[in-house]
Amino acid sequence: MKANWSVFFIVLVLGMSSCFKNSEDPNAQLNADMKLIDEYLAATFVTDALYDNSSGLRFVIDTYGNDAPPHEGQTVKVEYIGKILTSSGLSNVSFDSGEINDNLEDVVPEGLKYALSLMLKGSSGTVYIPSKWGYGETGTTSVPANSILVYNVFVEDVIRTTTQINQMKADTAAIHTWIKANKPEAIMHSSGFWYTIDQPGTGSYPTPYSVVAFDYTLKLLTNTGPGTAIQQNSSPNTGIFSLIDGLKLGFPRAQVGSTLTFYFPSILGYGATAQTSIPANSNLAFEIKLTSIAQ
């Protein structure tokens, strides 16, 4: 199944576009690279690639991780092997390999940094990067100009800042105290949130990259429990990976037709950035009814 990410990742892609100079036909090389990548995927019988037609990147996720993806300011540890894709196929010899252990914003090339921001901690897979988001028209000593890059990656770890770590400890301690007293049946996820299955479903489970339709009610979660609803709505055809980290991790636990309530620490919500009606560092209670998964 192909998932077109161009709608909900457009902001990220536009942010990257400033890194490249304009030419008379700025999309000619990108379009040629996308065509070659797609032909290679078809020829090698890859049927589960994820397609981002705004950037031209393609992803094949082998293993879905179980914790939040990296964000700027956080350190990401990644094992990787980089190869080059040409019209003759994928190179047998890597142009680079090893381990990244840097802040996300320092990862190069740009396409790899972007790809890692779209992978949960613990994920492994293959990323196909058009030359525009690789080393472009200049190349490097080991990468010819206009080369399509193919990275096999494993997101080994994501290390939060000290402030985020301390906030997470305070959040999870407060939620656990309330859960223990009021929702002993709640299930704890390894990433630090809790959830209850309020109404079981009978349908399929989404992946973190599925496009779904759902109804939701959002409440602030304080030491005395969830407050009154501050948001209540239906969300049609929404890419899960465009949502807060908690929902990226939570939705794959929900079957179509089910209703779940998630109790998220602020780090898996909106973090230190205040939103309308949501103060900074707010723990959240999200009631979700998953109505459908786009096919």
| Mean pLDDT in residue range 79-105 | 97
Q: What is the pLDDT of residue 295?
A: 65
262 Cβ contact list (under 8 Å, min separation 6): 193, 194, 195, 246, 247, 250, 284, 285, 286, 287, 288
- 101 band by pLDDT with thresholds 50, 70 and 90: very high
Domains of the chain by residue range: 10-159, 162-293
Using 50, 70 and 90 to split pLDDT, how confident is the model at 12? very low
How much is the pLDDT for 33? 96
**Is residue 146 predicted with pLDDT exceeding 70?**
yes
Is the pLDDT at 153 greater than 50? The verdict is yes
Q: Confidence class of residue 253 from pLDDT cuts 50, 70 and 90? A: very high
Do 162-293 and 10-159 have the same topology in CATH? yes
Supply the pLDDT for residue 26. Answer: 80
What's the pTM value of the predicted model, to 2 decimals?
0.89
| Fold designation for 162-293 | Chitinase A; domain 3 (3.10.50)
Position 25 scores a pLDDT of 79
Give the model confidence (pLDDT) of 209-237 as tens digits: 999 999 999 999 999 999 999 999 999 99
| CATH class of the domain whose range is 10-159 | alpha beta
Dump pLDDT digits (tens) for 14-46.
445 444 444 577 889 999 999 999 999 999 999
Is the pLDDT reported for residue 292 higher than 90? yes
- Output the CA–CA distances (angstroms, integers) from residue 171 to 39, 211, 236, 247, 265, in the order listed: 48, 29, 30, 17, 5
Residue 119 has pLDDT above 60, yes or no: yes
Mean residue pLDDT across the chain: 91
Write out pLDDT tens, residues 182-204. Answer: 999 999 999 999 999 999 999 99
E strands in the chain: 50-51, 58-63, 75-86, 89-90, 96-103, 124-129, 148-159, 187-188, 194-199, 211-222, 225-239, 259-264, 283-293
Query: What is the average per-residue pLDDT within 151-168?
Result: 98
What's the rounded Cα separation, in Å, for the pair 58 and 221?
38
